[in-house]
């Protein structure tokens, strides 16, 4: 068979799979079901939407129940906990498969890019049918076809790719908002981080492909897009005709129907003045920046290979706040990086006090084999790390509550996102700064932006009231 491009080839395999699935439907007298379980970050969630899109095209009915004909785990390996969770759940899946031997179990995502993981799966989890990695998720239909035809386990891991496959199906979780990949991979090699090894080198999609996707989303009722990349600030550098992230944002801003633009993640070392200027002028870019600091200690930042000092970071925050006074800042912080001293940790507490983050994700350092930090000698004792982590959490939470309080009794535009899970007759929405508000409302409002009076700040969220 000759195909003009990869997407066409994959569509051929989707059709082949569909015939096999239809035959099974006849045999069973029911639809076949598929359950995709996603672990980890926004990138993985976006990848899963593509996987679900392919499975739907093949004819599987989507379910959240793992007692399904096909179960696919899209895995994460950024911290050890993420890995342990997968092994635990595989034990549970094997029990389901014992009762339904025709069940297909697949694993994909970041964990599969580690050779020692795949070795372990091959030795101790022999009931797995399909293994593929981050670079070839677009091959799902082809690999599944191979599995269905051969009856044997299929494994396909690529070490890297420069290819970006456009135009494959995708099923969105929300009708009104969507993540949009603008780039893949990471070139930064922060010394603790496994992402560059499992997601490969940085490569950007062309602005034309990105804008075409967003225009189609807008035509489909999407009002908010989240531009996704490991380091969006270095977007476009590898393109034949280089484009900056700030230039891309300006073009996204012009798309009718898009009312909110978010993006993540921003590396502080690459955040340009142009980007700040574009954000300050924009009516659509949300007043929120996720700007991972990782540590407040210049010495530790150097060991982390972050390419900025505590002072550089604080100066950047100052510049952002003077250009965009109401901007919300959030961050990621790692506690217990090798060789972290009490003095280093005090610098982290100090930077948190100075920046006053709206919220922060705090992580205990997790040793990832293959990264430079894993070979550093002085790993910090567990009880010291726990104690520091608790101190940091207390501080982050106190500041976060204080910041939330600042918008109490103000009127804010809110994008209504879902019916409230706990309180009947309530909906939940998001402010431009990413905070959540719960207020009495109807599900018909979902996907629209309404004005909400924030009656009461409740710690990290608000209780509000819609104002006409």
Q: Residue 166 corresponds to which tokens in the numbers above?
A: 């456009």
Binding residue (CB under 6 A) for ligand 5AD from 334, 355, 414, 431: 334
Residue among 76 and 140 whose Cβ is closer to ligand SF4: 76
Nearest to 73 by CA among 38, 118, 41: 38
SS3 437: strand
Residue among 266 and 412 whose Cβ is closer to ligand 5AD: 266
SS3 294: strand
> Residue written as tokens 């959490």?
393
Minimum CB separation of residue 195 from ligand SF4 in Å reads: 4
User: For residue 44, what are the contacts with CB-CB under 8 A and spacing of at least 6?
Assistant: 38, 74, 75, 76, 109, 110
Considering only the stretches 107-115, 245-253, 360-368, 402-410, report the one whose residues sit in contact with ligand 5AD under the rule CB under 6 A: 360-368
SS3 338: coil
What is the contact mask toward ligand SF4 in residues 223 to 262, using x (rule: CB under 6 A)? -------xx-------------------------------
Of 103-162, binders to ligand 5AD (CB under 6 A) are none
Binding residue (CB under 6 A) for ligand SF4 from 74, 77, 188, 348: 188
Minimum CB separation of residue 189 from ligand 5AD in Å reads: 12
Q: Does 78 bind ligand 5AD (CB under 6 A)?
A: yes
Is there a contact between 71 and 37 (Cβ–Cβ < 8 Å)? yes
Binding residue (CB under 6 A) for ligand 5AD from 11, 46, 79, 135: 79
Give the span between the Cα atoms of 390 and 382, in whole angstroms: 12
366 binding partner (options ligand SF4, ligand 5AD, none; Cβ < 5 to 8 Å by kind): ligand 5AD
Q: Does 189 bind ligand SF4 (CB under 6 A)?
A: yes
SS3 366: coil
Q: What does the chain come to in residues?
A: 468
Q: Does 197 bind ligand 5AD (CB under 6 A)?
A: no
430 binding partner (options ligand 5AD, ligand SF4, none; Cβ < 5 to 8 Å by kind): none
Considering only the stretches 162-170, 309-317, 365-373, 407-415, report the one whose residues sit in contact with ligand 5AD under the rule CB under 6 A: 365-373
Q: Residue 194 corresponds to which tokens in the numbers above?
A: 């496994």
What residues pair up with 427 in beta bridges, in sequence order?
419, 439
For 21, 79, 114, 306, 366, the CA distances from 193, given in Å and listed in that order, are 40, 9, 13, 11, 9
186 binding partner (options ligand SF4, ligand 5AD, none; Cβ < 5 to 8 Å by kind): ligand SF4
Nearest to 228 by CA among 50, 392, 102: 50
Of 288-327, binders to ligand 5AD (CB under 6 A) are 292, 294
Minimum CB separation of residue 42 from ligand SF4 in Å reads: 12
260 binding partner (options ligand SF4, ligand 5AD, none; Cβ < 5 to 8 Å by kind): none
Considering only the stretches 124-132, 252-260, 363-371, 460-468, report the one whose residues sit in contact with ligand 5AD under the rule CB under 6 A: 363-371
Other CB atoms within 10 A of residue 375 CB: 11
Binding residue (CB under 6 A) for ligand SF4 from 193, 225, 232, 399: 193
Q: Does 87 bind ligand 5AD (CB under 6 A)?
A: no
Nearest residue to ligand 5AD, using CB?
Answer: 332
Minimum CB separation of residue 196 from ligand SF4 in Å reads: 5
Binding residue (CB under 6 A) for ligand 5AD from 39, 132, 176, 192: 192
| Number of Cα atoms under 13 Å in the Cβ half of residue 261 | 23
457 binding partner (options ligand 5AD, ligand SF4, none; Cβ < 5 to 8 Å by kind): none
Cα angle, residue 252 at apex, residues 278 and 414 outer, rounded to 5°: 80
> Residue written as tokens 């593929």?
132
Q: Does 193 bind ligand 5AD (CB under 6 A)?
A: yes
For 134, 315, 316, 433, the CA distances from 320, given in Å and listed in that order, are 34, 9, 6, 14
| Number of Cα atoms under 13 Å in the Cβ half of residue 355 | 36
User: Number of H helices and number of E strands within the chain?
Assistant: 13, 19
Residue among 106 and 338 whose Cβ is closer to ligand SF4: 338
368 binding partner (options ligand 5AD, ligand SF4, none; Cβ < 5 to 8 Å by kind): ligand 5AD
Q: Total residues contacting ligand SF4 (rule CB under 6 A)?
A: 10
Q: Residue 124 corresponds to which tokens in the numbers above?
A: 């101790």
Look up residue 418 and give its DSSP letter: E
> Residue written as tokens 């982290």?
348
Considering only the stretches 21-29, 93-101, 118-126, 192-200, report the one whose residues sit in contact with ligand SF4 under the rule CB under 6 A: 192-200
| Number of Cα atoms under 13 Å in the Cβ half of residue 242 | 6
Binding residue (CB under 6 A) for ligand SF4 from 144, 186, 210, 291: 186
SS3 6: helix
Residue among 43 and 329 whose Cβ is closer to ligand SF4: 43
Q: Which residues contribute to the site for ligand 5AD (CB under 6 A)? A: 78-79, 192-193, 292, 294, 332, 334, 363, 365-366, 368
Q: Which residues contribute to the site for ligand SF4 (CB under 6 A)? A: 186, 188-190, 193, 195-196, 230-231, 267
């Amino acid at each position: 068979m000759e195909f003009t491009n990869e997407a066409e080839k994959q569509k051929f395999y989707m059709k082949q799979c569909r015939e096999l699935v239809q035959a099974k439907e006849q045999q069973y007298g029911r639809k076949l079901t598929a359950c995709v379980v996603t672990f980890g970050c926004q990138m993985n969630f976006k990848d899963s939407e593509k996987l679900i899109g392919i499975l739907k095209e093949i004819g599987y009915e989507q379910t959240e129940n793992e007692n399904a004909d096909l179960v696919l785990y899209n895995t994460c390996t950024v911290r050890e906990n993420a890995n342990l969770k997968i092994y635990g759940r595989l034990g549970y899946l094997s029990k389901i498969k014992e009762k339904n031997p025709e069940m297909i179990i697949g694993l994909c995502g970041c964990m599969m890019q580690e050779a020692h993981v795949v070795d372990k799966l091959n030795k101790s989890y022999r009931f797995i049918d399909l293994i593929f990695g981050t670079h070839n998720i677009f091959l799902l239909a082809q690999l599944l076809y191979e599995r269905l035809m051969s009856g044997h386990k299929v494994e396909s891991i690529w070490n890297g790719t420069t290819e970006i496959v456009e135009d494959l199906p995708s099923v969105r979780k929300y009708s009104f908002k969507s993540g949009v990949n603008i780039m893949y991979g990471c070139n930064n090699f922060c010394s603790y981080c496994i992402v560059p090894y499992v997601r490969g080198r940085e490569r950007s999609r062309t602005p034309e492909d990105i804008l075409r996707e967003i225009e189609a989303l807008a035509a489909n009722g999407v009002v908010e897009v989240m531009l996704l990349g490991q380091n969006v600030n270095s977007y476009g550098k590898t393109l034949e005709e280089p484009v900056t992230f700030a230039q891309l944002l300006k073009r996204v801003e012009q798309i009718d129907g898009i009312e909110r633009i978010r993006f993540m993640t921003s590396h502080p070392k690459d955040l340009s003045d142009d980007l700040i200027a574009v954000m300050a002028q924009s009516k659509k870019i949300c007043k929120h920046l996720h700007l991972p600091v990782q540590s407040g200690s210049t010495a530790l930042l150097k060991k982390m290979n972050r390419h900025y000092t505590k002072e550089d970071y604080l100066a950047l925050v100052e510049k952002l706040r003077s250009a965009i006074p109401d901007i919300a800042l959030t961050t990621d912080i790692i506690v217990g990086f090798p060789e972290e001293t009490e003095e280093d940790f005090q610098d982290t507490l100090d930077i948190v006090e100075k920046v006053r983050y709206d919220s922060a994700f705090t992580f205990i350092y997790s040793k990832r084999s293959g990264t430079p930090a894993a070979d550093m000698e002085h790993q910090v004792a567990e009880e010291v790390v726990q104690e520091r982590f608790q101190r940091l959490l207390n501080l982050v939470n106190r500041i976060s509550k204080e910041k939330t309080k600042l918008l109490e009794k103000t009127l804010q535009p809110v994008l209504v996102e879902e019916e409230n899970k706990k309180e009947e007759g309530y909906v939940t929405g998001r402010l431009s700064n990413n905070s959540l508000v719960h207020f009495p409302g109807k599900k018909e409002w979902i996907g629209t932006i309404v004005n909400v009076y924030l009656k009461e700040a409740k710690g990290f969220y608000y209780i509000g009231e819609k104002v006409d």
